[in-house]
Structures are given as structure tokens and as C-alpha cells.
Amino acid sequence: MNKANKSLYFYLMLFFSTTLVGAILLYLPYTGKKPITFIDALFIASSAFTVTGFSPVDIGAQFNILGEVVILLLIQIGGLGIVTVTMLVFVFLNKKVSLQNRFLIMVTWNIDEAGGVVKLIKHLAIYSFITELIGAFCLSLSFIPKFGIGQGLFISLFTAVSAFNNAGFALFKNNLIDFSNDPVVIITVPLLIVLGGLGHFVLVDLINCKKLNKLSFHSKVVLSTTFVLIIFGAILFFLLEQSNTLNNMGLIEKIGNALFQSVTTRTAGFNSIDMGNIKTPTSLLLMALMFIGGAPLSAAGGIKVTTFAIVFIFVLNAIRKENTVSLFNREISDKYIKLSIVTINISIIFIFVITFLLTIINPSIPLVKILFEVISAFGTVGLTMDLTSEYNGLTQLIIVIVMLFGKVGLLTMARAFIPPRSPRKYHYPKGHIHI
């Protein structure tokens, strides 16, 4: 077994064991206001640790302050990454970070070089905590007047951590529907989601770069693709839902909620409108956004915006019969093109297989709702068309697997179970095929 596979297996063991510990803690009577089944506790722990946001129960009604703190910690650890948190503990205790531990960080974050790894996780932690605290302060301007100082501060912190880590958990029964006309919430939450979904590298690049044209190639691709997806999603959502779920709102409120849903749909899973009442075309739009997800090296799930951008340009250039794939005057290597195509293909196959299984298990549930739920779990988004509370035990377990696979990454999981093949020292003659 090579060093990469050893690190990968250790990461997976650490990941799954943390999820199990979280489930046990939420199952204990000390964390709940009323009894909960272990499968529900496992589902919520998995949802929190993978920063998805699914919940078969009302979080605020089910758990006491201790249970909510457990969920908050799972979200924070899941957002930063269990390996990153472990390394931060080593750094805090002045322990030397071994080469093996550095290699583990490289595997989990898909980094090619070991240099600067410790500095990276320090900056990541500082940036995360400062942003969350600023977000909590902004949200407290709305929540403290409504709920008092103590409860208002905790709700503000919980919502800020949940938003920045793209989790989508809220301590309210209707998520954020009751705050659809609150400008503080509608503005602050999407900003936190975007900041968390862009990734640490992009934000550091933006801070250090004096001119936008001097940004790194990665940052340019992430920022431009994210901007286009947000605007495109908001416009389409507004047009599709203005006479439906947005019908009783003023124009400014409609625009705000359309932007809110466009941002949160790709990565976080908060909702300011009733998702159970959206139109079928809208649900298809949201599925596409959830499938794409956020940026690499962020808390977001999905195939990632860079993968989408590379494949989109590749397809466009193939139609034009261009031999190279380039963006912002930079040519993209075949390595990244192949990885992007593989990622999208295995993601589509995975979603199809899971959806097929769930339609067999739940024959009475419409296909659109099942597909929506699977893509939401895969993208670690957590939006639901009022279906999560209707899961049976087997369906819950399957969705848990989808969330875990979506968070870890299908390519990472595939590499863990499919051993690498030594490169051949020979080549077969090329064959001709009609397409």
C-alpha cells in the first residue's frame, strides 16, 4: 500500500468515526428535549458534519442547548475539515507536524505540494473564525431585539457558523422563511455563504491583490463562474417564481429573495421561501445549481465551479473544433480536463444509481422530489421539497451514504477502493471508431 492510500484510508476512518461519535452524542438523553431514534441521530450528525443541513426533525424543538452546541461543533469541524482541525490542535500544542500529517493534508485538500501546509491551515482557521464572528455580530442586530441577548447571541453565532460553512442548519422550524422580509438576514447570510463557498485561496488572493487583473488564474475562474451562476440563477428564479412563491412580495423583496435562493441553493441549503411549493422548472434549475456547488478548497460540495467551467469551455471548444482549452489567456492542461470530465461522469452515474434505488424503495414519491433530494444530498446543500421528514429507515441510510460520499468526494472515494495501476511500458495500436 502506497503512502497516498494509507493517508486516504486514515482520513476516511477519521471522517466516519467522527460522524459516529456525533451521532452517539445526539442520541444521548442529555442532549435532547425528547427521545430520538439512533438512525435520526446518525442522520443529523452526518448532515451536520458534511455541512449539508438535512434534518428529519425540528432542531430547535428536538435538542437542548447542549445538543445544539454538539451540532454547531460538528458543522465547524466539518467545514474546516477534520484533518485541518487535528493539525490545528498539534500547532496549538506546539507539536511538530510530521511529513505524514502534511501528506494527509495534501490528500484531503487535493494540494500537490507539501510546502506551506501549516501556514495554510493557520490562515484558514483565522479567516474562518474572524468572518464568523463578524457575521454573528451583524445577525445579532436582528436576532437580539427579537429573542433577547442570551438566546439572540447564540442564534446569531449558530446561524453565522452554519452559513459560512455552507451547512444550511437553522434553529427555526421553517428555516429562514419567517425572515424573508428581514434585510439584515437576507443580506448577511448570503454574504457569509459566498465568503465560505469561494475558498480560502481566493479570499487571500483578493485581499493581497491590488488589481483584479493580477489575480491568480484559479481565483479568476472561481470568481467569474460564481458571479455568472449567481446572476443567472437569480434571474431565472425571479422569472419562474414571481407569480408563485414570490407572489406576495414587493419588487425589492422579490429581487432580494431571488438572489438569496440563487446563492444558498448552490452550496448552503437555507431557504427563505417554501421549497415544497416551487414549480417543476424551478426545481430543475435548483438541481443544476446544487449539482455544480461551490469552489474547491471550501466548505461547499458539488462538482465545484472550476470543474463546471473547464468542462463547459472544453465542450464549447470541441464544437468549434479548437484543439486547446483556454481561459483568461491561460491554457488548461489535459490532466485537469480529464479529471473534470471523470468527476462529472461518475457524479451523474452515482446520482442515477441512487435515484434508481430510491424510486424502487419509495414508489409513491414523485421522481422529481427524489432526484431533488439526492442531488441536494450529493451537493451537501440540504434543500428539501418537504420530503426529509417522510424518510423511512433504509432511505435515511442511503441519503447518509450520499451525504458522506458527496462531502469526501466521489473521486477520492473511487481512488480509495480502486487500486492504481502501474503505467504500461507499451502502447496498443490506435483503433478507429465512428461517433
- CA-based nearest residue to 25, from 64, 58, 79, 57: 64
Q: Mean pLDDT of all residues in the chain? A: 84
Q: What is the pLDDT of residue 409?
A: 80
Q: Are 22 and 51 in contact (CB under 8 A)?
A: no
Q: What is the pLDDT of residue 113?
A: 57
The yes-or-no verdict on residue 204 having pLDDT over 80 is no
3-state class (DSSP) for residue 4: helix
pLDDT higher than 70, residue 52:
yes
pLDDT at residue 171, rounded to an integer: 85
**Virtual CA dihedral for 42, 176, 164, 230, nearest 10 degrees?**
120
Q: Could you tell me the pLDDT band of residue 360, with boundaries at 50, 70 and 90?
A: very high
Say what the pLDDT of residue 14 is. 78
Secondary structure (3-state) at 209: coil
Name which of 100, 53, 103 is nearest 377 in CA terms. Answer: 53
| Alpha carbons 425 and 351: distance in angstroms, whole number | 36
Confidence of residue 58 (pLDDT cuts 50, 70, 90): confident
φ, ψ for residue 32, nearest 5 deg? -120, 155
Query: Residue 78: in which H helix or E strand, if any?
Result: helix 65-80
Domain ranges of the chain: 3-417
Q: What is the pLDDT of residues 157-173, one digit of tens each?
A: 999 998 888 887 888 88
The CA-based angle 16-21-26, given to 5 degrees, is 125
Asked if residue 85 has pLDDT above 70, the reply is yes
- Phi, psi values for residue 47, rounded to 5°: -65, -40
| pTM of the complete model | 0.87
**14, burial (CB in 10 Å: exposed 0-12, middle 13-18, buried 19+):** middle
pLDDT at 104: 63
Closest CA to 262 of 172, 183, 193, 308: 193
Of the ranges 103-117, 127-141, 332-346, 391-405, which one carries the lowest mean pLDDT score? 103-117
pLDDT at 6: 66
For residue 348, the model assigns a pLDDT of: 95
pLDDT(1) > 70? no
Q: Which of 290, 300, 264 is nearest to 188 (CA)?
A: 264
d(Cα 246, Cα 257) in Å, to the nearest integer?
8
What pLDDT sits at residue 110? 59
Residue 432's pLDDT is 77
Look at residue 279 and tell me whether its pLDDT is greater than 60: yes
pLDDT tens digit sequence for 335-354 = 889 989 999 999 999 999 99
Q: DSSP for 149-183?
A: HHHHHHHHHHHHHHHHTT----SSTTTTGGGTT-H
Confidence of residue 13 (pLDDT cuts 50, 70, 90): confident
Return the bridge partners of 96, or none.
Answer: none
Output the nine-digit C-alpha cell for 260.
438569496
Collapsing DSSP to helix, strand or coil, 330 comes out as strand
CA distance linking residue 120 with residue 279, whole number of Å? 43
pLDDT band at 135 (very low <50, low <70, confident <90, very high): very high
What's the pLDDT score for residue 102?
A: 64
